[in-house]
Amino acid sequence: MLRNGLEPWHLLILAVVLVVLFGSRKLPDTARSLGKSLRVLKSEAKAMKEETGKDSPAATAPDA
């Protein structure tokens, strides 16, 4: 029944529905804001990873 989940014509129908629902003017703005949000999320995740690496007990434990 669902041997081929997404075929090219499924994607075409989805694109047409998105254009009809949101309009051709709002789609580029939406994609741009989504890209900015993903960049901010990526930079915050990187900052948290760097911060966690500096505060790890193995890195701050004195040599005995």
Q: How many Cβ atoms from other residues are within 10 Å of residue 7's Cβ?
A: 9
Residues listed for the chain: 64
Does 60 fall in a domain? no
Average pLDDT, the chain: 81
* 18, burial (CB in 10 Å: exposed 0-12, middle 13-18, buried 19+): middle
Structural contact between residues 51 and 43, judged by C-beta atoms closer than 8 angstroms = no
Does 41 fall in a domain? yes
Tokens 């690496």 found at: 53
Does 30 fall in a domain? yes
The proportion of the chain whose per-residue pLDDT surpasses 90, expressed as a percent, equals: 30
Does 33 fall in a domain? yes
For residues 23 and 2, the model is more confident at 23
Q: What is the pTM of this model?
A: 0.50
What pLDDT score does 38 carry?
A: 95
Within its chain, how far is the Cα of 30 from the centroid? 13
The tally of domains found in the chain comes to 1
Question: What is the domain-level CATH number for residue 20?
Answer: 1.20.5
Does 18 fall in a domain? yes
Q: Which domain holds residue 45?
A: 8-53
pLDDT at residue 1 above 50?
A: no
